[in-house]
A and B are shown apart, each in its own frame.
Chain A
Amino acid sequence: MAAAESAPERTDARPLKVRPPARKAARFWRGFIVPAAALLVWQLATSLGWVATASIPSPVSVVESWYEWVFGPVIPLAWYSGTWTAYALLSIRRVAAGFAIAAALGSSFGLLLGWYALVSDLFDGVINFLRAIPTTAWVPFVVFFFGIHEAAAISLIAFGAFFPIVTNIAAGARQTPRTLVRAARMLGTPPHKLLWRVVLPCALPTVFAALRIGLGLSWVLVIVAEMLAVQGGLGYALWAAYQVNRLDLIVAAIISVGLLGLVSDWALVQLAAVSLRWQRGLVGQ
């Protein structure tokens, strides 16, 4: 057939016939439906008097206090006015430092633990024991040890987030397919490089899952530490608001922590999406 012969060769340079799912934007906005509804119910509940405003503040009053907390003038006596940014930065810094330590130590140690039988034999018992202790039980000890000091908060976070990271990554490293290890050996990888060449890339999806768990826990622990062990930070503000019965500020602080946690988790997921490009199409969604 002449027509078929003269038809141009199909190449990858041609405009795409298969478009990526166009509903990405729609799916993004869909995510706001439930929060908006919740907000609406909350506002109605308070303004129609379903609940006493003494026990639950209205969204409007929370936003007003929050605004003052963020943008208000810094006055020595009003402990909250204008302090939000400084407190948020303090919390972020503590989480960043504690989580970074936990992530670095936890990932490297987790890989070693999962890959080398000797390391696992030596440390499994200790790790399982320490893991069984709730991190909050360490608070008095940590305060005793470091005093009311940054190091107390950071080490509490690092210590607490370390365990879920280690155990999850070790479990991931143990799942390394034997065939891939053999393939690497057959292609000339010496045994001591297998960890880097095969085990780590194979475990990468687990590594990111473990880091997400660790990051979430870091936010839990920063609030605990700030309520009990150090000064400043959103957890500190939360506790201070409780002591002066400012329910609106308590709610504002809770939502602030939630938002920061959400943003940090989102950033981690973006990083994972870039690193795990090869995995696209292998997993659901």
Chain B
Amino acid sequence: MSDPSIISCDRLGKTYLDNSGREVVAFEDISLEIARGDFVTVIGPSGCGKTSLLFMLAGFESKTSGAMLIEGEPIKGPGADRAVVFQEYALFPWLNLRRNIEYGPREKAMPRDEMRRKVDEMLDVVGLASAAERYPHELSAGMRQRAALARVLVNEPKILLMDEPFAALDAQTRLSLQRELSRLSQELALTVMFITHSVEEAVLLGDRILVMTARPGQIYADVAVNLPKPRDPTAHEFSDRRRDVEDLLKRASAQTGETISIPIIV
């Protein structure tokens, strides 16, 4: 592909200072290229720096070493081109569903008619048209996560950053949201970075799976998943893939970024 990577990290590092002023190295020297339109899932032991990496790409956290580029440009704070879906939804509780989705367009001062049309369209896409006037606390968890998705997709982002978005949902709801997300990301040609704790989810959604080591985090394995979408979790190939990744995750969890340097490409 002649297209350059949309996200690129070069020897990226993040070190926090904890309350007592000690340094906590979340990760060091992560190098990563993500191509346009890729659906990348990230999996790794707790505390290895997944959220940190995602929030740095979102512009919420600053880097402490290395370089991090979006379409060749350094990141200067958050922006509507990089949409974030939080695990805790983060809908504005004082705005009803419609106003939550209108938030982005209003900030861009989009003309009223156009905004109406887009928001209605988005409500349809996520199947929430009948709940448009309700407040977030009047929605179920699954509806809230749909709403959070609609709220960012209406801004036509290029990159979708998701931090365990479906972790708090029941299996049924999670499955339907996974399907929708998979379909939408293909339709809208989104580049997605999706953090999860579930190997099954990682294999179900990812074109590419990054398996990380324990803290300080490093990419232990970079797994390409070439199964056609939508994927069938009961199929043989799927189970094989899942077992591979489970295996890699087990080995990765026993390692830290200090002991490995080059990711295994699978």
Contact = CB atoms under 8 A, between A and B. Distances in A.
Nearest to B96: A278
Contact of A183 (B77, B84, B130, B135): B84
Interface in B85-141: 86, 88, 90-96, 103-104, 107-108, 130, 135, 137-138
A282 B151 CA distance: 22
Contact of B80 (A180, A187, A198, A282): A187
B83 A186 contact: yes
Contacts of B90: 177, 179-180, 182-183
Interface string A179-194: 1101111111100000
B142 interface: no
A182 B78 contact: yes
B93 A279 contact: yes
B236 to A, nearest CB: 39
A272 to B, nearest CB: 13
Max chain A CB contacts within 10 Å: which of B77, B95, B107? Answer: B107
B127 to A, nearest CB: 16
Contacts of B83: 186
A82 B137 CA distance: 53
Interface size bracket, B side: 20 to 34
A278 B95 contact: yes
Contacts of A201: 92, 94
Nearest to B103: A187
Given A183-B86, A188-B108, A281 B137 contact: yes
A138 B101 CA distance: 51
Given A201-B94, A282-B93, A186 B78 contact: yes
Given A188-B155, A201-B92, A201-B94, A182 B137 contact: no
Contacts of A189: 107
B92 A188 contact: no
A278 B94 contact: yes
A97 interface: no
Contacts of A12: 130
Contact of B155 (A177, A187, A204, A281): A187
A162 B90 CA distance: 33
Contacts of B92: 180, 183-184, 198, 201
Interface of B: 55, 58-60, 77-80, 82-84, 86, 88, 90-96, 103-104, 107-108, 130, 135, 137-138, 151-152, 155
Question: Closest 3 interchain pairs by CB?
Answer: A188-B107, A185-B78, A183-B90
